[in-house]
Amino acid sequence: MALSVDVMPNRSSPPAILLREAWREQKRIRRRTVANLSKMPPALDGGVTFPSLDAAVAIRRSRPHGHVAAVLGTVRSRGMVRILHRVPGRMRDLAVAAVVDPASKLATARALDPETASTSLGAVLGLGPVIGSEMLDMLDWLLERQPWIEMTFVAPRSGALGGRGGPGHHLANFPGKRRARCRACM
């Protein structure tokens, strides 16, 4: 089944513009009129509404976004945002920004500020203006949370907090594979 726009000439009146549906029944092609587009505004009739895209839209600023979306998606899907803190907040978002785009404190503050932003990271996280002292406060906040973050990363691997074993614990029932894994790790 296919849709098409057909122009049907009339003798003494303007041509009829029809939206038609066509399909094949054995050897014949059948057509059915879906809508009469003759009375539609000229913009829908294929007329030019804007002389050019440059005249219609002025691009004032374009920020890269693809890498921001990719890294933030990975950070969120791996649960790192939740490891930093369960409750969403400005400090957590600043820490995520430092992970996504590592730079000095001042460079990170400038990159997140809406006036001087180099990427869409600040807008995606909804941070607004960022000053250098906030970056220092974020580092202090991370220092307070460091023991929790380290335990969260280490616990499943070391046997602490109910973990089952060290690296390769999932291969414990397969001695041959465990030996091969150990050789590969060396």
Q: What is the pLDDT of residues 25-66, one digit of tens each?
A: 999 999 999 999 888 776 565 656 666 777 777 878 788 888
Tell me the Ramachandran region of residue 79: left when phi exceeds 0, alpha when psi lies from -120 to 50, beta otherwise.
left
Q: Name all contacts of 112-117 with Cβ < 8 Å and 24+ positions apart.
A: 117/63
- What predicted TM-score, i.e. pTM, was given to this entire model? 0.51
Question: What span, in angstroms and rounded, lies between the C-alpha atoms of 152 and 64?
Answer: 32
Burial state string for 31-53 with b = 16 or more CB within 10 A and e = fewer than 16: eeeeeeeeeeeeeeeeeeeeeee
**Lowest-pLDDT choice from 53-62, 92-101, 148-157, 170-179:** 170-179
Per-residue pLDDT at 33: 93
pLDDT at 140: 92
DSSP state of 14: P
For residue 159, the model assigns a pLDDT of 57
Q: What is the DSSP letter of 113?
A: S
Mean pLDDT across the chain, nearest whole number?
78
Does residue 49 or residue 20 have the better pLDDT?
20
Residue 21 pLDDT: 94
Judged against a pLDDT cut of 70, whether residue 124 lies above it is answered with: yes
